[in-house]
Structure 1
Amino acid sequence: MILPSLVARDEQARERMDDPRCDPRRLARTYASFRPVNAAVAGWRRAYRRHLRPHLRAEGATTLLDIGCGGGDVARALARWARRDGYDLRVTGIDPDPRAHDWARRRTPVAGVQFHRKLSSELVAAGERFDLVISNHLLHHLNEEQRDGLLEDSARLARRAVVHSDIRRGRLAYALFSVATWPLFPGTFIREDGLTSIRRSFTAPELRARIPSGWTVSTPGRFRLLLLHDALARARR
């Protein structure tokens, strides 16, 4: 296996599943594989405990928006974890891609979870607000203008906190993902697009250099980045 240098982001690389003409059967199998892949690598259980659960209301419902929710596996997992912990978390997942929205909508319903085919800018324009706002593996997909728009929308939509989780680019991450997925997920875009995602992703210093004031970058592990915004602290200023 020949490793790319990964010194700089490969902003020209494109994930196959983002192509509207990609094989719909492979795409469906890819959506179906997101749950085990995210459970293994995305670190949302830890992020939930540290950054989301402290904001959940002991009484009444807490609302959460998942931007770019894809197949909806993270949205459903968060609702299940909160319910097991005795909280009422109402999760709204949005994605502008009709294929992702259709997949998410057709899965077995989870109490408190709903999906809409929308952009975050549409929710801002409609005056919507949520206690918490998250995204998973979305930042590396966006160009600079789109990323700035996401952060602005997130800050406007969130009453309490924002957690954008993404991959941390590195040669070890690339090598391990390549080896670990080689025999797995046949007939999907998981391995190919996962490696592309790593090439497109940020390092912590790169991301810190591109974010406005009021945002912080956390590195909860060697392979993860969290982009955080404390809306409550900002509101108290």
Structure 2
Amino acid sequence: MLNFNRSNEIEIMDSGDYTDEELRGDFKNIRLANKLTRTYSNLKSILNDIINKKNLEDITILDVGTGMADIPLELANHCSENGTRAKIKGIDPNPRAIKIAREFIKDHRDIEFEARSIQDFRDDEKFDFVISNHTLHHIPDADILETLNKMFRMARHGLIISDIRRTRLGHCGASIISKFIGNRLTSNDTPASIRKALSKSELIQVLQESDIENYRIEYSFPYKFILVAEKGQNSTKSF
């Protein structure tokens, strides 16, 4: 049975012990999972709501932990289709991930990449939106609060974080499904990611201790959540 304490184990992805082909295959599996869990459509809808509310025509987006850059590509295409000019920077501390992202995106004029950690940015390096997907669970307890605060400080209009949360049901499902996946990273790291993720109560506690205001959390079955924090609104916190 899953120990409900958050795990500090190291995922294969974070260890560097894999080939580029394994990492590329894992990213493709994550992309499929993002489609199946409606992550793309949810992020687009949330971004669109804030853009329309604030009447924004030109925006900048920072994608933290970009991986293969599937999120930047989806958002760039969405903004273009809806008449919003978007410049997107995808960052990842793993140079091998950035290499794959550049292969995947190729020469998209509105997307650029940098092998860089969020902690390397100055607070005055601002973006209209700071987003991340499947990144928070990689961050150890000691760094989560400051990472969230920094991302919020860097966002002019909104912070949007999509990730998994630690549930027994989610872990059970991931453990079963992962047995049928041929990719070594995906097979190992899918259940490991859930063991490393924050539970609902831990997420709420961290947010209560943070500098983040005007936020809401949207939960989806069986183990996903999206945190949305808008700036320029009256102070609210919705769990």
Per the alignment, residue 64 of structure 1 pairs with 61
The Cα shift of 1:7 comes to 2.2
Q: How does 1:143-182 map to 2 (within 5 A)?
A: 143-182=140-179
Q: 1:76 aligns to what?
A: 73
State the partner residue of 1:214. 212
> Which of 95, 118, 121 is residue 119 of structure 2 equivalent to?
121
SS at match of 1:21: coil
Secondary structure at 1:70 match in 2: coil
Mean CA deviation greater in 142-151 or 175-184: 175-184
- 2: CA distance, partners of 1:220 / 1:105: 32
CA distance in 1, matches of 2:56, 2:158: 18
Would you say the 8 A contact 1:31–1:103 is kept in 2?
Answer: no
Q: Secondary structure at the match of 2:4?
A: coil
Shift of 1:5: 2.3
Report Cα offsets for 1:76-106 as digits up to 9, x if no partner. Answer: 1111122223322221111111111111122
Per-residue CA deviation, residues 109-154 of structure 1 (Å, 9 max, x unaligned), is 34421111122233325x3211111111111111133212211221
In the alignment, does 2:188 pair up with 1:189? no
CA RMSD of aligned residues (A): 2.3
Give the superposition deviation at 1:6: 4.2
Q: Normalising by the residue count of structure 1, what TM-score does the alignment of the two structures yield? A: 0.86
Q: Does the 8 Å contact 1:79/1:111 carry over to 2? A: no
The amino acid that maps onto 1:225 is F
Letter in 2 for 1:190: T
Q: Give 5+ residue unaligned stretches, structure 1.
A: none
- What is the deviation of 1:217? 5.0
Aligned-residue identity in percent: 25
Matches within 5 A, 1:1-237: 4-10=1-7, 12-41=8-37, 43-49=39-45, 51-56=46-51, 60-109=57-106, 110-124=108-122, 127-184=124-181, 186-211=182-207, 212-215=210-213, 216=215, 218-222=217-221, 223-233=223-233
Q: How many residues align?
A: 228
Q: Distance in 1 between matches of 2:179 and 2:99?
A: 29
**2: distance between equivalents of 1:230 and 1:108?**
29
With over 3 angstroms needed to count, the CA separation of the structure-2 counterparts of 1:59 and 1:213, relative to structure 1, is closer
Distance 2:114 2:211 in 1: 30
Where does structure 2 lack aligned partners over 5 or more consecutive residues? none
Taking the aligned partners of 1:229 and 1:27, their CA distance within structure 2 comes to 31
* SS of equivalent to 1:156: helix
Amino acid at match of 2:202: E
83 and 100 in structure 1: CA distance in 2 versus 1, 3 angstrom threshold:
same
